[in-house]
Copies of this chain bind each other. A is one copy, B any other.
Amino acid sequence: SKNKNFSFSNRGKTLEEELNESNEFYLSRSIAVIHKKPVPIQIVHVKYPVRSAAVITEAYFRSPSTTDFNGVWKGKYIDFEAKETTSRTSFPLNNIHDHQVEHMKKVTEHDGIAFLIVKFTSLERYFIVPYDYFEEKWERKIAGGRKSITLKEIEDMSIEIEAGFNPRLDYLAALEHLLQSPIKERIERQENE
């Protein structure tokens, strides 16, 4: 198992916060322009008090039709969903929405780069799961197979992100590795073994 030198700096931080910090670092160093999308809200009532800012007094959360983060890196369109799990053995597929999968599929078809970033919170391990590989496991679920991707499968087919100080999660370095060894070739290699 891995040495976790940096676990102290992670205390109480959500994956979203860690990714926001990493994206600020990328932005400040001119490495990439990637942002968290705002949470979609349906606004029902707004008050406009005299001499102060408008107040939303009734609104509801809407389920997102796309993913959490997108932006541009080296001219490439980057799009990903961030998910945490407390499981130590597998990544459950039950809190990913159909329309998010559909969105990632479309991004891939238009030559964007779509993936998931999965954090195993209990293990403090982070992985990039490329969309092509995720799709295989999503279809396995739809076909009646298991409703999760095992940690072992993720270890074999994803790229682990090293947690550090600055950037907290250098996921673009991990992505660079992935692009040098395309997932389709890796899936084929695995199938031939």
Contact = CB atoms under 8 A, between A and B. Distances in A.
Interface of A: 27, 30, 32-33, 35, 37-41, 43, 53-61, 65-66, 70-77, 79, 103, 106-107, 109-112
A110 B72 contact: yes
A152 to B, nearest CB: 32
A110 B33 contact: yes
Contact of A54 (B61, B71, B74): B61
A56 B41 contact: yes
A39 B73 CA distance: 24
Per assembly, the copies of the chain total: 2
Contact of A41 (B38, B71, B106): B38
B58 A109 contact: no
Nearest to A37: B37
24 contacts: A27-B106, A30-B106, A30-B109, A30-B110, A32-B110, A33-B103, A33-B106, A33-B110, A33-B112, A37-B38, A38-B41, A39-B41, A41-B59, A54-B61, A55-B58, A56-B56, A56-B58, A57-B57, A72-B79, A72-B110, A72-B112, A75-B76, A75-B110, A75-B111
A73 B74 CA distance: 15
Contacts of A30: 106, 109-110
Contacts of A27: 106
A179 B111 CA distance: 18
A143 B110 CA distance: 41
Contact of A59 (B35, B56, B76): B56
A61 B41 CA distance: 11
Contacts of A111: 72, 74-75
Contact of A77 (B38, B72, B106, B109): B72
A191 to B, nearest CB: 28
A60 B65 contact: no
